[in-house]
Amino acid sequence: MRQARVERKTKETRIQAEIDLDGTGLYDVTTGIGFLDHMLEQLSRHSLIDITLKAEGDLRIDGHHTTEDTGIVIGQAVSDALGERRGIVRYGVATIPMDETLTRVVLDASMRPYLIWKVQFDRPKVGDMDVELFKEWFQAFAQAAGITLHIENLYGENTHHIIESCFKGLARALRMAIAVDPRQAEEVPSTKGVLGGSL
């Protein structure tokens, strides 16, 4: 069963999360930040990963710690659930249109975390949330999940659409990468026999 439960408690946040990589996209997410909840629900629904997450953070200061730490916790849960990553497809790609916006997401579940972020915004906020925090979320997720993650917004105008296309792109690319290939169900998808380390 590719499931995991992760708890994170710091002076800034208290977060509990459970995921099932082989779910149906069911979610129960509460972070205290409405737009972040909406994005994590998109991640669950379009990846078919069941996500239950409850976060309490120092929102009286701002949303930074809560946003970053949810990325850490979900990423760690994905990594834990994948284990040695035997049998997975490993690579995933998605190009997501959303009205006037088009975003490309490409990833490698390689245990070599890295983020390329080619996304710009014309507005500082969407709702009450600082848009600069989304790079922090994706950075935290990629690091904790052990994923090489490239996100490029090819074009777009609406800030909401741009951000949402990034999360939907991650969801679809992740769904592809973590799928089990029956032709190599017991094999690590690397000529080294192990993922991570040097190229």
Specify the fold of 3-184.
Answer: Ribosomal Protein S5; domain 2 (3.30.230)
Predicted TM-score (pTM) of the model is 0.94
Q: Quick one: average pLDDT of 172-197?
A: 81
Domain ranges, ordered by start, for the chain: 3-184
Portion of the chain with pLDDT greater than 70, in percent: 95
76-102 pLDDT, tens digit per residue, is 999 999 998 989 999 999 999 999 999
94/80 Cα distance (integer angstroms): 24
Distance (Å, whole) CA 168 – CA 25: 12
Instruction: Give the separation between CA 34 and CA 12, rounded to whole angstroms.
Output: 19
Distance in angstroms (rounded) separating the CA atoms of residues 164 and 52: 19
Q: E strands along the chain, which residues?
A: 3-9, 13-20, 27-30, 50-57, 91-98, 101-108, 114-118, 125-126, 129-130, 148-155
Predicted confidence band at 123 (pLDDT cuts at 50, 70, 90)? Answer: very high
Q: Note the pLDDT tens digit of each residue in 29-60.
A: 999 999 999 999 999 999 999 999 999 999 99
Tokens for 90, please give them.
């490993």
List, in sequence order, every residue forming a beta bridge with 17; answer none if it has no partner: 6, 53
